[in-house]
């Protein structure tokens, strides 16, 4: 079965390639408008706990979509973030 299928594909290899390229071009043209069809489209339930929590978090902490980096600093063993030496190192690191 596979031998005969391979033989057919080999004999019509240029036709197979042309059909594949035409199919991919057609799918690419269809894909250009795909972004218009993809959205949340009302998948949020306004009464759900997760939406209420998101609103509370956004109201409390704000939402910044412009931030690119999140830096997490942990104080060394035996020190706190209030330690002036640790604060100086963090500030120096952030100003670079």
**Three-class HEC string of 25-54:** HHHHHHHCCHHHHCCCCCCCCCCCHHHHHH
pLDDT, position 65: 66
Measured between alpha carbons, how far is 52 from 28 in angstroms, rounded to an integer? 39
Q: Is the pTM of this model over 0.85?
A: no
Q: Residue 16's closest CA among 26, 4, 25, 8?
A: 8
Measured between alpha carbons, how far is 84 from 93 in angstroms, rounded to an integer? 14
pLDDT, position 38: 76
Measured between alpha carbons, how far is 58 from 29 in angstroms, rounded to an integer? 38
pLDDT tens column, 29-62: 998 888 777 766 667 788 899 989 988 988 888 8
Measured between alpha carbons, how far is 24 from 18 in angstroms, rounded to an integer? 10
Please give the mean pLDDT across all residues of the chain.
88
Q: Residue 74's closest CA among 93, 95, 60, 61?
A: 93
């Amino acid at each position: 079965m596979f031998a005969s299928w391979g033989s057919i594909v080999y004999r019509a290899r240029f036709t197979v390639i042309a059909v594949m390229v035409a199919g991919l071009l057609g799918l690419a043209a269809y894909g250009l408008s795909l972004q218009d069809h993809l959205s949340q489209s009302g998948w949020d339930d306004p009464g759900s706990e997760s939406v209420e929590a998101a609103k509370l978090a956004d109201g409390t902490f704000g939402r910044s979509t412009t931030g690119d980096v999140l830096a997490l600093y942990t104080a060394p063993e035996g020190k706190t973030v209030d330690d002036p030496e640790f604060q100086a190192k963090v500030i120096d690191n952030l100003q670079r």
